[in-house]
Structure 1
Amino acid sequence: MARPIWTGTLSFGLVTVPVGLYSATEDHSVHFRQLQRGTSDRVRNQRVNERTGEEVEYREVVKGFELAEGEYVVLEPAELEQISPGRSKSIEISGFVDLAEVDPIYFDKTYYLGPRGKEYARVYGLLHRALADTNRAGLATFVMRGKQYLAAVRVEGDVLVLQTMHYAEEVRDPHREIDNLPESAAEPSQKELAAARQLIEMLSADWNPADYHDNYTEQVRELVEAKLAGKEVVTAAPAPESTNVVDLMAVLERSLQQAGGDEPEPVTAPTPKGKAKAKDEEQDEEQPDEPDGDLDGLSKAELYHLAAERDIAGRSSMTRDQLLEALRPAQDKPARKRRLRAVS
């Protein structure tokens, strides 16, 4: 079993439970040693006195706050601990917030929280159940490794997790950071927007984290093995070029065809209310529905097209299974007549 990276207490109100903090993720990337080119000599990072050039041991390093060039206020680790006694050993929940109200940009690193003994399972389970029932997260602050963190304590499956968060002043304003954000004058045409929406709907999928892998790390490992075996290194395909704004609609149409769909559904300008009825009457004609066939053998894109033809509400947000469920009742019905309606 893994050892906790931090131990202390978790409290809400007067209820307190000893807990341990455990890493929830691990790094699987390929790690390299730094070498001097043309040799097998390792290059190391060292703590070096800038004036003398001599290496300094870790225990001899203190923190200095610079007032001016060469002038510092020196702080010892023990002094930093003394200004907030006990803060580094407690996670105090000060309030609870609806998870839906928290923008994901504020979340940082995730840790598991576990009770420090079986005798605390009841208190731990009480908080877990209460948070799950209310869909809320406890907001807290705590100190770890000389830094105070804002954190959210929430439910993940059958455990509590602690997610460190960014403070508001740490989140940058995108309008100050990005020079070329779209302006209102750059609004897409209705035809382009319809095609983009259709492409998103056709490529939508259920979230399954096991479907995604770190392909780059795999390629790095293959590169190492190829060089070790003296094989030729195969270069990857170049990055795609930026889409030409003039050909945007043509690119969208090709994307739809590549995704297994047809050209985007036609989009016409809205019809004035006074003429809507007359236009519908002009376009009314009876045509039999196409046979359903075996729905289970159809792709999600094909199911979506059937749902669009039958004007099934909410089809754009449905999964493949939900589309099947919505389409199946019509399978057992006799072929019926339907009207062709103008697209508005």
Structure 2
Amino acid sequence: MRSIWNGAISFGLVSIPIKLVNATESHSISFRQIHTEDGGRIKYRKFCDLEDREVSTAEIGKGYEDADGTIVPITDDDLASLPLPTAKTIEIVAFVPADRIDPLQMDAAYYLAAGGAAAAKPYTLLREALKRSNKVAIAKYALRGRERLGMLRVVDDAIAMHALLWPDEVRAPEGVAPETDVTVNDKELDLADALMNTLGEVDLTDLHDEYREALEEVLAAKATGDTPRSLPDHARSGKVLDLMAALEKSVRDAKETRTEEAEVKPLRSPKKSARTPKTPDPKKSTSTKRTTTKKTQTPRKSTSTKTTSEKATTKSTATTKKATRKRTTPQKRTA
């Protein structure tokens, strides 16, 4: 992986040369702006508003607009010479429990790679110290023209750093919660708990971006001139008419889904018996097969498992046989 920043971790008087590497990547599909009439690409050209001409990238620099509209030019040398100890150093300032970090503060994630063989020993020392303490390191560093806050933690055998927003950059949730007083009863909470338990847990590696897959399918169809297949509408109404009914139906649906998923799982093949299987009698009906199977499983209750129709059939067959015997029995001769 290509490093995006080279520097060092400052751990007290210990300095650990490191390379900053992106820990995440985006798989989103990007689009181009086109002219809808002919499909031509839309391009943006950069013009100087004073000279009214297009300028090249080499002619473009940075500038800060003051309150009165005055532009103050800022060069890369100005930014590189800022009087900050964190300009090329990730300076650890504290070690705190991980639950002290509000997830709202978490931003981009990076891996910190050891910068050469000399960094292996202090890198490993910091990693093992973090593991044993069950804490994360809070650090300050400068990247892309500003000083930032970071959190260092151990991921497998590597040290990862999460960029953190400064506390004053996180908005308070004012006006977000419902303003109306609402009472939730125990039965509703029990149903919500039942739904949570039915849905259970999930392995995050099993989840995937269905929107991206559907979009790729549409793009592939349009590229070959085919008509994209219509996708099912998963839109749901946000209006809840009956909360209890919705919860009960959700629990039922979740149980059915779990049952279907369990049924489609492959089962182990049964062990083959050494005995030769008996050839089934074609004269026997399906109901007789069920009865035979049931008799084999529970031989003591085989008599009681006959249905009313089977009893009637047996009785009728016995009567017929009796009548047949009467007709076929030869009469005794008289002397």
Structure 2 length-normalised TM: 0.71
Q: For residues 82 and 60 of structure 2, what CA distance do their matches in structure 1 show?
A: 20
Paired residue for 1:257, among 231, 241, 252?
252
Note the C-alpha offset of 1:168: 0.9
One-letter identity of the residue aligned with 1:12: F
Q: For residues 228 and 80 of structure 1, what CA distance do their matches in structure 2 show?
A: 47
- Give runs of ≥4 in structure 1 deviating > 4 Å: none
**Which residue pairs with 1:84 in the alignment?**
83
**Which residue pairs with 1:327 in the alignment?**
none
**Which residue pairs with 1:243 in the alignment?**
239
Q: Determine whether 1:149 maps to 2:148.
A: yes
Distance 1:103 1:190, change over 3 A: same
One-letter identity of the residue aligned with 1:200: M
**Which residue pairs with 2:224 in the alignment?**
229
Higher deviation after alignment, 39-48 or 92-101: 39-48
Tell me the matched-pair count: 258
Note the C-alpha offset of 1:69: 4.6
Note the C-alpha offset of 1:238: 4.9
One-letter identity of the residue aligned with 2:200: S
Note the C-alpha offset of 1:49: 2.2
Distance 1:158 1:72, change over 3 A: same
**Which residue pairs with 1:37 in the alignment?**
36
**Which residue pairs with 1:3 in the alignment?**
2
Note the C-alpha offset of 1:108: 0.5
Q: For residues 135 and 200 of structure 2, what CA distance do their matches in structure 1 show?
A: 28
Distance 1:48 1:186, change over 3 A: farther
Distance 1:186 1:48, change over 3 A: farther
Q: For residues 230 and 151 of structure 2, what CA distance do their matches in structure 1 show?
A: 44
- Please give the residue correspondences for 1:1-344 in structure 2 after superposition, counting only pairs within 5 Å: 2-84=1-83, 87-176=86-175, 178=176, 181-183=177-179, 185-206=181-202, 208-236=203-231, 237-244=233-240, 246-260=241-255
Assess if the C-alpha contact under 8 Å between 2:217 and 2:228 holds in 1: no
Q: For residues 47 and 234 of structure 2, what CA distance do their matches in structure 1 show?
A: 42
Note the C-alpha offset of 1:173: 1.2
Q: For residues 84 and 246 of structure 2, what CA distance do their matches in structure 1 show?
A: 62
One-letter identity of the residue aligned with 2:17: P
One-letter identity of the residue aligned with 1:166: L
One-letter identity of the residue aligned with 1:203: L
Q: For residues 194 and 48 of structure 1, what CA distance do their matches in structure 2 show?
A: 64
Q: For residues 69 and 22 of structure 2, what CA distance do their matches in structure 1 show?
A: 39
Higher deviation after alignment, 10-19 or 43-52: 43-52
SS at match of 2:87: helix
RMSD: 2.2
Note the C-alpha offset of 1:198: 1.1
Note the C-alpha offset of 1:51: 4.4
Assess if the C-alpha contact under 8 Å between 2:16 and 2:114 holds in 1: yes
**Which residue pairs with 2:323 in the alignment?**
none
Q: For residues 100 and 156 of structure 2, what CA distance do their matches in structure 1 show?
A: 20
Larger Rg: 2
Residues 11-42 of structure 1 show CA distances to partners (whole Å, capped at 9, x for unaligned) of: 11101110001111111122222221122321
Q: For residues 256 and 105 of structure 1, what CA distance do their matches in structure 2 show?
A: 31
Q: For residues 168 and 84 of structure 2, what CA distance do their matches in structure 1 show?
A: 25
Note the C-alpha offset of 1:251: 0.9
Distance 1:70 1:243, change over 3 A: closer
One-letter identity of the residue aligned with 1:257: R
Q: For residues 128 and 45 of structure 1, what CA distance do their matches in structure 2 show?
A: 47
One-letter identity of the residue aligned with 1:250: A
Structure 1 length-normalised TM: 0.69
Q: For residues 4 and 247 of structure 2, what CA distance do their matches in structure 1 show?
A: 49
Q: For residues 5 and 50 of structure 1, what CA distance do their matches in structure 2 show?
A: 34
Distance 1:46 1:132, change over 3 A: farther
SS at match of 1:74: strand
SS at match of 1:87: coil
Assess if the C-alpha contact under 8 Å between 2:107 and 2:163 holds in 1: yes
SS at match of 2:242: helix
**Structure 2 residue runs without a partner (length 5+):** 257-261, 264-335
